[in-house]
C-alpha cells in the first residue's frame, strides 16, 4: 500500500494526444484522462457518501481537467441492494456529494456521477431489509445462490410492472438526476452496462418480456432511450452520458453484442443531429468484463462499429495498460479528436496517475483484496510518486467512513 515493490513500468505520454485539450459538453478539458467509475464500497451501510470518499476523489482530481467519474451510485432505494454503496436520491446524500464535487472543482477538475440500479444483481435480503421489491425485466435469476436467497427471505425476483417502469422514467431517474445537479456534478451518466438493471433490458438472456419493453431490439432499448429522452431537458444533453458494455459477459450468460448497441447509438446520433448531442458515450472495451481482464482469445468482438455510428465523444475504458510501456492501443484509440481514456484499477492505486502517465513514472500495482473492503486501508493509503509515508494497516482498518453531510 505504501511501498512501491510491485511496479508497472511505463513511458512518458506527456507529448501525446492524451495531454491535448478536448471539449466534453460545455467544458474544454486540458487533457483526455478520466477516472472510470469504480465501486469501492466506502459509503455508509445506509447509502450515504462518507468523509473517506472526500480526500479519495480530491486526490484523483488533483491535476486540472481530469474527468472524475465517481462510483456507481444508487438512483433510488429500489435501485439499491448492497450495503456501503452511496446513493443520490435524497437531500442529505446530495449534500455529502456536494462536498466531493466542490473538492474536485477546487482542483479545476470535473465530476460525473454514474446513476445505478442493480435489478437482479441486488441482494434480495438487503432489499427486503429496505422494504423494497426485487425486480428485473423478467424473473430470470442471476444464479442459484440468488434464487435460494430470494426464496429464503421471501423476496422473490419478479418482472417490473409497466407502472414501475413508467415511474422509473418519469420520477426515479429524474429525481436522481436533479439531486446530482444539486450536488454539483458536471455530468450525469446512466449505468447501462455490466448486467445491471438497464443492461438487463438490452440482453436477451435476461429480458423475456413480451410487452413493448422486450423482444425486438427497438423494444429492448426502449427503457434506456425513454430515460435519456426524459433527462435531456432536465440535465441538458451536453451534461448527460451513458455507459455501455457491448462485449462484457459480467453477470450475464451472453454478451449483448453489436445489434442492440448499434441501434442505441444510431438513436443517440439522431438526437445529436437534432441538436441534443450527449456529452459522451462511455464504452467498455472488450479487453475487460467489469474489473476483470478478458484473455485475448476470449474477447468477443470489437467496438469499431460504435465509432462508425456515434460521431460525438467517447470515454473508453478497459485495461489500457496491458501493452505498457508501449501503449500502442491507447495511442491508436486516441488518434482522433473525440476520445478520452479512462482508468479504473490503476487509478485506485495511483492517486497521481495523471502525473505518472505524463512523466513516465512507474505505476503502483493495484490491490484487489482492498477494492471492496469498507475501511481506509487500501483506499486513502497510496503514496504519491514523491511520498514515502508508511501506513499502519491496523490503524487504517479501524478508520471507517462517517456520513458526509
Nearest approach, Cβ of residue 396 and ligand PHB (Å):
22
DSSP H helical segments within 245-392, as ranges?
Answer: 258-273, 304-309, 328-333, 345-349, 353-359
Q: Which residue is nearest to ligand PHB (CB)?
A: 39
Nearest approach, Cβ of residue 357 and ligand PHB (Å):
23
* Nearer Cβ to ligand PHB (22/315): 315
Nearest approach, Cβ of residue 39 and ligand PHB (Å):
3
Pick from 369, 281, 288: which is nearest to 24 by CA?
281
The SS3 call for residue 264 is helix
For residue 59, give the H/E element and its range.
helix 53-60
Nearest approach, Cβ of residue 315 and ligand PHB (Å):
13
In the complex, the residues that contact ligand PHB under the rule CB under 6 A are: 39, 72, 193-194, 290
100, 180, 220, 271 from 199: Cα distances, Å = 28, 21, 9, 21
Within 10 Å of residue 42's Cβ, how many Cβ atoms? 24
36 grid coordinates: 472510470
Cβ atoms of 106 and 58 closer than 8 Å: yes
Cβ atoms of 198 and 289 closer than 8 Å: no
3-state SS, one letter per residue, for 63-116: CCCCEEEEEEEECCHHHCCCCCCCECCCHHHHHHHHHHHHHHHHCCCEEEEEEE
74 is catalytic: no
Pick from 23, 35, 108, 19: which is nearest to 331 by CA?
19
Nearest approach, Cβ of residue 387 and ligand PHB (Å):
28
Dist CA 399 CA 405 (whole Å): 18
Question: Among the options 110, 187, 196, 213, which is catalytic?
Answer: 196
* Nearer Cβ to ligand PHB (39/381): 39
Respond yes or no on whether the N-terminal peptide bond of residue 325 is cis (omega within 30° of 0).
yes
* Nearer Cβ to ligand PHB (33/284): 284
Residue written as cell 482508468? 343
Nearest approach, Cβ of residue 12 and ligand PHB (Å):
30
Active site residues: 196
Amino acid at each position: 500500500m505504501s511501498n512501491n515493490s510491485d511496479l508497472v513500468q511505463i513511458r512518458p505520454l506527456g507529448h501525446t494526444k492524451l495531454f491535448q485539450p478536448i471539449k466534453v459538453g460545455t467544458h474544454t478539458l486540458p487533457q483526455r484522462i478520466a477516472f472510470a467509475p469504480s465501486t469501492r464500497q466506502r459509503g455508509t451501510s445506509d447509502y450515504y457518501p462518507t468523509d473517506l470518499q472526500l480526500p479519495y476523489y480530491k486526490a484523483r482530481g488533483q491535476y486540472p481537467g481530469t474527468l472524475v467519474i465517481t462510483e456507481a451510485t444508487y438512483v433510488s432505494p429500489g435501485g439499491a441492494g448492497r450495503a456501503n454503496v452511496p446513493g443520490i436520491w435524497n437531500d442529505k446524500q446530495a449534500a455529502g456529494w456536494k462536498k466531493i464535487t466542490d473538492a474536485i472543482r477546487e482542483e479545476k477538475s470535473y465530476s460525473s456521477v454514474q446513476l445505478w440500479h442493480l435489478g437482479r444483481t441486488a441482494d434480495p435480503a438487503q432489499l427486503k431489509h429496505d422494504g423494497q421489491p426485487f425486480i428485473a425485466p423478467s424473473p430470470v435469476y442471476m444464479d442459484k445462490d440468488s434464487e435460494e436467497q430470494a426464496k429464503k427471505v421471501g423476496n422473490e425476483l419478479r418482472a417490473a410492472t409497466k407502472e414501475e417502469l413508467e415511474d422509473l422514467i418519469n420520477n426515479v431517474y429524474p429525481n436522481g438526476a436533479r439531486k446530482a445537479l444539486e450536488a454539483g456534478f458536471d455530468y450525469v451518466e446512466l449505468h447501462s452496462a455490466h448486467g445491471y438493471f438497464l443492461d438487463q433490458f438490452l440482453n436477451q438472456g435476461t429480458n423475456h418480456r413480451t410487452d413493448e419493453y422486450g423482444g425486438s431490439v427497438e423494444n429492448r432499448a426502449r427503457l434506456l432511450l425513454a430515460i435519456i429522452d426524459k433527462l435531456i431537458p432536465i440535465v441538458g444533453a451536453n451534461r448527460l452520458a451513458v455507459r455501455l458494455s457491448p462485449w462484457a459477459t459480467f453477470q450475464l450468460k451472453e454478451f449483448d453484442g453489436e445489434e442492440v448497441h448499434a441501434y442505441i447509438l444510431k438513436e443517440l446520433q439522431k438526437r445529436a443531429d437534432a441538436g441534443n448531442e450527449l456529452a459522451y458515450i462511455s464504452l467498455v472495451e472488450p479487453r475487460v468484463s467489469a474489473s476483470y481482464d478478458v484473455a485475448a482469445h476470449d474477447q468477443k468482438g470489437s467496438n469499431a462499429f460504435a465509432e462508425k455510428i456515434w460521431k460525438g465523444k467517447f470515454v473508453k475504458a478497459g485495461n489500457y495498460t496491458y501493452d505498457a510501456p508501449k501503449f500502442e492501443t491507447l495511442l491508436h484509440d486516441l488518434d482522433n479528436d473525440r476520445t478520452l481514456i479512462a482508468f479504473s484499477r490503476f487509478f485506485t492505486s495511483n492517486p497521481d496517475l495523471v502525473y505518472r502517465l505524463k512523466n513516465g513514472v512507474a505505476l503502483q500495482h493495484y490491490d484487489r483484496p482492498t477494492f471492496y473492503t469498507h475501511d481506509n486501508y487500501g483506499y486513502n493509503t497510496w503514496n504519491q510518486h514523491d511520498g514515502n509515508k508508511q501506513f499502519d494497516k491496523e490503524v487504517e482498518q479501524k478508520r471507517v467512513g462517517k456520513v458526509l453531510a
